[in-house]
Structure 1
Amino acid sequence: MNPIRNELGLWLLACALALAAAGGWLLGRIPLRAQLATLKAAHAQQLGAQASAAAQALQMAQTRGDALSAGLLQQQTRIDQLKVEKSRAITQATTGSTCLRQPALRLLSTAPGLTVAGLPPATGGAAADSAATATDTHLTGWAIATGAAYETCRARLAALIEWHATPTIGDRHD
């Protein structure tokens, strides 16, 4: 036997085996590539569906928020209008007589959430004699302003509670 032929035969055999392995590897990957393409398409479709659901949930939340804000604005307008009407009418229904003097005003001024600073000076009689007094007009005006502030706060809290009480699509409470 010729050693060159044997060596050449071995090289040809090695090349043939390498080509066969490479071909087998390529042919074996074709189904895997198809499966990967299917998985990628399914994943892209799932991401698209999630994005669409998120956009829909955002739109619904925005619409709900707009409706609540519009209702809150209407309530605030009614509260402001009523406050102005009552403030104008109070001057005709009160006499300006002294109701509270300095010790009582000092106590009110230090109460939580209250302020009585900035009262205008009393205009008549005994009320004008003491610098720190509150008239019935002052007290009713303060009561109207306090009531309006309370109603504004109540309306805002009601809208906030309504916002959180009604879940939108996609809200997760796990």
Structure 2
Amino acid sequence: MLITVARYLLPALAGFALAWAIQGWRLEAAAQAHAAKLAAIEREREAERRHAAEAARARLEAAQAKADAAVAAQARLETRLKEEQARVKAALYALPSRPCLGSEHLGLLAQSPGIRLGPVPQAPGGALGPAAGPSADPAHPAPEGRGAWGEGLTATDTAVTGWMIDAAALYETCRGRIEALRQWAEQSD
């Protein structure tokens, strides 16, 4: 009986062992295939990340080049404006000058929001200059009832025109900066 059992049991055990081995080989092959797919996906992701980093670097370099060009253009504009301002002021101070604004007017201007009067520009030929009156500095206010420029002081038409030239130059500088920023933003999109 033992032989009969062994005769049937040994082939069954051998078949079971063979099936187990085949199943293990299949699982191992599937695991290796899965690992190969994961490695391929990881290589693709790494290539995508590298490509995205290169594209971002190229965009950054392009934006930096545009910003550098805008800064250089703004510097050229400001230099041109300063040269033009100096040329116009030189021509202005060569003209005759006459009183234009009295101390009351100057005092009101000095107190107006958004207006900061500096010293009246010194012009040749006796126009009021920086030493002619106190500045509109809040740290040194004028006495009560007097304008920031003091009694009896006037600004000439030359001084007022000089202030206007300065204001126009500041406006053009600001406008140029805003335009440069706008152009840079349009190019960067």
Shorter-chain TM band:
0.7 to 0.9
Give 1:131-146 correspondences, 5 Å limit. 131-146=152-167
Q: What's the TM-score, normalizing by structure 1?
A: 0.75
Cα distance, 1:111 vs structure 2: 2.7
Find the aligned partners of 1:23 and 1:107 in 2 and give their Cα distance: 98
Q: Percent identity?
A: 29
Q: Distance in 2 between matches of 1:36 and 1:137?
A: 81
Range moving further from structure 2, 107-116 or 133-142:
107-116
1:66 to 65, 68, 71: 68
Q: Which runs of 5+ in 1 are unaligned?
A: 169-174
1:158 aligns with 2:179: yes
- Does 1:87 pair with 2:108? no
Secondary structure of the residue that 2:100 maps to in structure 1?
A: strand
Q: Cα deviation per residue 1:35-68 (whole Å; 9 max; x = unaligned)?
A: 1011011101111111111111111111211221
User: After superposition, where does 1:42-61 map in structure 2 within 5 Å?
Assistant: 42-61=44-63
TM-score (norm 2): 0.70
Q: How far has the Cα of 1:77 moved from its partner?
A: 0.9
Query: Shift of the alpha carbon at 1:112?
Result: 3.2
> Counterparts of 2:119 and 2:127 in 1: how far apart (Å)?
18
Query: Does the CA contact (< 8 Å) of 1:94 and 1:136 recur in 2?
Result: no
Amino acid at match of 1:52: E
3-state DSSP of counterpart to 1:99? strand
Structure 1 segments (4+ residues) deviating >6 Å:
17-21
CA-CA distance at 1:138 after TM superposition: 1.2
Counterparts of 2:121 and 2:63, CA distance in 1? 47
Higher relative contact order (CA 8 A, sep 6+): 1
Q: Is residue 121–residue 133 contact of structure 1 (8 Å, CA) maintained in 2? A: no
Q: CA deviation at 1:20?
A: 6.3
- The alignment's C-alpha RMSD in Å is 3.1
What corresponds to 2:138 in structure 1? Answer: none
Unaligned ranges ≥5, structure 2: 134-149
The SS at the match of 2:120 is coil
Distance 1:61 1:36, change over 3 A: same
Report the Cα offset of residue 27 of structure 1: 2.3
Shifted more, 84-93 versus 16-25: the winner is: 16-25
The CA deviation at 1:28 is: 2.0
Q: C-alpha deviations, 1:113-166, integer Å up to 9, x for none?
A: 2111433689469x9994542112211111111111111011111101111122
